[in-house]
Amino acid sequence: MTNFLSREFPMTEKNFQSIAKIAYEVTGIVLGNHKKDLVYSRISRRIRSLELTNFNDYINLIQDQNNQEFTSFVNSITTNLTSFFRESHHFDFLKSTAFPELKKKGKSPLIWSAGCSTGEEPYSIAMTLDQFYPGGDFGGAKILATDLDSNVLNTGRRGVYEGSKIETLDKKLKRIYFRFNNDDVAVTENLKENIQFNRLNLLGPWPMKKKFDIIFCRNVIIYFNKETQKELFNRYSKMLNQHGYLIIGHSENIHGFQDQFESIGRTIYRKK
């Protein structure tokens, strides 16, 4: 077992529990004992960068949510792993089913990428829209991309990625939607224009006025407990138009919500 007391900055059990409590109350993220290493390494980095000497002083700072360190604390505890066209069957579904249905109804899709991380998910949605509605106007569709972490949102807004991030993408997609600059790639302005990146804590109020046709919330609820998940599914159901779609991650499920959603397979749910 790792001894966190003999490290550069000793972390007591009480220190870890205090950090986990603040994280849970503010973000819903559950930091169980198996996350101790992760917490240690991420918070040590913050302690070092603030030139503090111990966990107690750091915890004192983050007791106050108005302290300017609080945003960095929240950013440091999120896990932001993502990629372009991750779980690609979801994007195939948009093209084969969701977009044609909306087109038939004469409706422009309104899509929310909740927990969008660095933007690869909303940009993949935007590319899929552009493939379905050629002509550059995305059929009037709009994408809202939100996350709690302000750093990842800035990356999303910039739309600049390491070239390696698109290595496995289809050649045609690379050519149409990316501009190459040394080792980096930038998404085209046209893609950017159709995505609104906003900071939003899923646990807080949702100021959006319109209902969505499709909500992506993939690989986000996995960090929450059942109670938080249940609350979120209720709220997503209210934010979806009738027969709208909720799309979640491969290791997630919405057990217990069969009265509100019908599963149509492969982690795609249709609001009844």
Contact residues: ligand SAM, CB under 6 A: 27-29, 78-82, 86, 115-117, 121, 147-149, 152, 201-203, 218-220, 223, 249
Residue 210, C-beta contacts closer than 8 angstroms, at least 6 positions apart: 110
Say how far residue 94 (Cα) sits from the centre of its chain. Answer: 19
Contact 236/267 with Cβ under 8 angstroms?
Answer: no
Nearer to ligand SAM, 47 or 145 (CB): 145
3-state secondary structure string, 140-158?
HCEEEEEECCHHHHHHHHH
Question: Which one, 69 or 231, has the nearer CB to ligand SAM?
Answer: 231
Rounded to the nearest whole angstrom, what is the least distance from the CB of residue 163 to ligand SAM in the complex? 19
Q: Tell me the HSE value of 247 on the side-chain side, using a 13 A CA sphere.
A: 26
- 147 catalytically annotated: yes
Residue type at 193 in one-letter notation: E
By C-beta, is 56 or 201 nearer to ligand SAM?
201
CB 201, min distance to ligand SAM, A:
5
**Secondary structure class of 160 (helix, strand, coil):** strand
Q: Active-site residue among 42, 86, 158, 270?
A: 42
- Cβ-based nearer residue to ligand SAM, 20 or 29: 29
- Write down the least CB distance from residue 182 to ligand SAM, Å: 26
Q: Indicate the residue among 121 and 130 with the shorter CB distance to ligand SAM.
A: 121
Q: How far is the CB of 6 from ligand SAM (least distance, A)?
A: 31
Q: Give 15's strand partners.
A: none
Q: Minimal distance in Å, beta carbon 149 to ligand SAM?
A: 4
The verdict on whether 42 is a catalytic residue reads: yes
| Residues 156/118, Cβ–Cβ less than 8 Å | yes
- Give yes or no for a contact between 93 and 101, defined as CB atoms under 8 angstroms apart: no
Among residues 130, 147, 149, 213, the one annotated as catalytic is: 147
> Per DSSP, what are the bridge partners of residue 215?
112, 246
Contacts of 23 (CB under 8 A, 6+ apart): 29, 31, 74, 77
Are the beta carbons of 73 and 42 closer than 8 angstroms?
A: no
Q: What CA–CA distances, in Å, run from 225 to 104, 143, 147, 230, 255?
A: 38, 27, 18, 9, 13
User: What residues are annotated to the active site?
Assistant: 42, 147
